[in-house]
Amino acid sequence: MSAEAENQATSPPKSARAVSYISWVALALMTTSSVASLRPAPTMAVYGLASIFLYIVPAIVFLLPTALVSAELASGWNGGVYNWVSQGLSKPMGFLAVWCQFAMTIFYYPSLLGFVASTLAYVINPDLASSGLWTAIVIMVCYWTGVWVSSRGTKGVAGLASGGLIIGTLIPGVLLVVLGIAFLGQGNESAAPMTADHLLPAWAGLSSLVLIVNNFLSYSGMEMNAVHVSSLRQPGKEFPRAMFLAMGLVLLIFILPALAISWIVPADELSLTAGVMQAFDAVFAAFDSQWLTPILGVMLVAASLGGMLTWLAGPSRGLLLISRTEGYLPPYLQKLNKNGVQQNILVVQGLVTTVIALAYAFIPDVSSVYWIFSVITTQVYLIMYLLMFVAAVRLRRNQPDHPRGYRAPMLTALCGVGFAASLAALLIGFVPSSQFGGGSVWTYLAIVAGGALGLGLLVPYLFYRARKPSWKTASAEEEVPA
């Protein structure tokens, strides 16, 4: 997701100004760059050819409803998800929604930086990719370095990720697919079966489909890009075109590298964090070009870190804006440093992230830890989407004449499909994956339920119950310095 879009989505309404129009193709490319990534490819590569099905289904039942519904909300109500849910449901529910947007990052950063750690290992020593201690150290160093950079209010940091789509996604992705095809062309047998019998995932109960939950996180963030709907000349016609084009591009970027990895690396040897580098290392070895592996590793790491920096403070800034006007957080967490950055929130978040990162050091299976963090991240974020879909239906029903720049077709049906898909993904996340079994089911449930429900529901409830009038530090008309 883009930091620029996130900040716009959480900022209060500004005075009217001339609209600078963009083309629907440009919006499609912006959306693609903020959603597409190579990071989830190893997770889906486990399914081989069935990954196509498991990418397309969530795209239809989640990505598309999210894009169209959030476009209507963004074109009619400023203030992002907090204002949408507050007006559609209630202010407490609005706080819960914006809290979940922020809280998901607490587990997202350890999983993102876990990928960085495993990728960086191939630049230094591939054996480190399976080291929990190495992973924990990299997570802590990278996160706190990011906090230091963000707290200085560095201008132009967002530009660090502007080339991320090309440097860390398109070039490695295209190279991986081309080399994968060449690998097969040399007569090497695909590690995963590529026959019609394997188009659908083998059914062994819900546990065989758990990894599909990761795709909901991969597709999340569309509500951030919806703020640009008002920049189209004909939103009613152009926004759906942009979303269908973006969905096609995103599917290509997700599916083809996942297939390429499945051709090269057997599923039972695949690491969820280091799978991309495993594939590159293996295919470069086949072509006697392993010296290229560290170079690709640096490209992937640079793009991931740049992306993290550009929106490190985005979700917390949205929470800060609401808390200053409504008093949802204590004054200590609302304080800004001399550069106008909510440093205290970032520091407290960093302390929690550090504790979570230590799990990598004490749990021997890095892939299992990565998967658990991804599930918790997804479940917390899905709570926000459940609220958004319900709020959209109520706003259409209760405020039918409210001006909207775009009206989603069959909004109630879209919200129904999106809500059902989100709820199903949230519940499926509590089922341990069949691909990574062996551990205690009850331990898995305790960790996932404690993380998702505790962080996503209990903590905001405690903040809401403890709020005081003195916690309001700004009027509704004030804006937090950028």
Check which CATH number belongs to the domain holding 444 and give it.
Answer: 1.20.1740.10
The pLDDT value recorded for residue 355 is 87
Q: What is the DSSP letter of 410?
A: T
On the CB side of 271, CA atoms within 13 Å amount to: 27
Which tops the pLDDT comparison, 257 or 220? 257
In a domain, 12, yes or no: no
In a domain, 14, yes or no: no
* Cβ contact 228:28 at 8 Å: no
User: Token digits for 234?
Assistant: 């004909």
- pTM for this model (two decimals): 0.82
Residue type, 106: I
In a domain, 475, yes or no: no
In a domain, 87, yes or no: yes
Q: How many domains does the chain have?
A: 1
The pLDDT value recorded for residue 100 is 92
At residue 259 the predicted structure's pLDDT band, cuts being 50, 70 and 90, is: very high
In a domain, 353, yes or no: yes
Range of the domain at 155: 24-468
Q: Is the pLDDT of residue 332 over 90?
A: no
Instruction: Please compute the mean of the pLDDT values over residues 121-146 and round it to a whole number.
Output: 89
Q: For residues 65 and 87, what is the distance between their CA atoms, to the nearest angstrom?
A: 20
Only one residue has tokens 């960790």, namely 447
The pLDDT value recorded for residue 95 is 92
The pLDDT value recorded for residue 15 is 43
